[in-house]
A and B are shown apart, each in its own frame.
Chain A
Amino acid sequence: GNSVTQMEGPVTLSEEAFLTINCTYTATGYPSLFWYVQYPGEGLQLLLKATKADDKGSNKGFEATYRKETTSFHLEKGSVQVSDSAVYFCALSDRPSGNTPLVFGKGTRLSVIA
């Protein structure tokens, strides 16, 4: 079945450090890939997405590139801020042409210290 594996946290970084959160997936077809973010006390928010191989999703300084050859969708940010402290979830949707439940990774907690 479909699955998403992401690096376990917590990840603690100093402000302005470079961030990478690894995500790899297993899917039978050609999934769409997503990163969601959950800030403390809030619901899940879509951060970025990519719907086909080699697409790059980007938002708020975060980027992730859909790599079919390595089945990966790693999240990166060049310079993190304290306000980026949150839990990040990688997810896939395996039928982009129709409605389908998302399959999530277990989440990675990021703490950024000043």
Chain B
Amino acid sequence: GAGVSQSPSNKVTEKGKDVELRCDPISGHTALYWYRQSLGQGLEFLIYFQGNSAPDKSGLPSDRFSAERTGGSVSTLTIQRTQQEDSAVYLCASSQPSEKETQYFGPGTRLLVL
């Protein structure tokens, strides 16, 4: 079956612009996670969805970052007024109810803010 997909695979933007990153989880996976992978910080948790609600947003680095999930499926991570320090690979993962602790990752979106 299809895995987690993310789009775009690469995004180059100018400082100050807004970007939207999309994640399509594995069908039937109710939990969805966003992480950020950067050279200096390793892999950092951003936000977690259970269905359409986000019980844990503790990893969002600032109020420029927001995310939503609709229909219990696709999620969008939005970064407003991008800064150079936002440059990173943004990873999405999902998990199924019968195996909650095992997360399956997408290929990531590589964001470069110039």
A residues whose Cβ falls under 8 Å from a Cβ of B: 32, 34, 36, 42-46, 49, 51, 89, 91, 93, 96-107
Contacts and interface: CB of A to CB of B under 8 A. Distances in A.
A44 B91 contact: yes
Contacts of B35: 101-102
Nearest to A89: B43
Contacts of B48: 99-101
Given A101-B45, A101-B48, A104-B43, A45 B105 contact: yes
Interface in B62-105: 91, 93, 95, 100-105
Given A101-B48, A101-B56, A43 B43 contact: no
Dominant SS among interface residues on chain B: strand
B43 A99 contact: no
23 contacts: A32-B101, A36-B105, A42-B107, A43-B4, A43-B91, A43-B105, A44-B105, A45-B105, A46-B104, A51-B101, A91-B43, A96-B100, A97-B100, A99-B31, A99-B95, A100-B48, A100-B101, A102-B33, A102-B45, A102-B93, A103-B45, A104-B42, A107-B43
A34 B93 CA distance: 15
Interface of B: 4, 31, 33, 35, 42-43, 45, 48, 50, 56, 59, 91, 93, 95, 100-108
B101 A93 contact: yes
Nearest to A93: B101
Contacts, number: 53
B89 to A, nearest CB: 9
A49 B95 CA distance: 15
A49 B105 CA distance: 15
Contacts of B95: 99
Given A43-B91, A99-B48, A105 B42 contact: yes
Given A101-B48, A101-B56, A106 B42 contact: yes
Contacts of B31: 99
A101 B42 contact: no
A99 B45 CA distance: 13
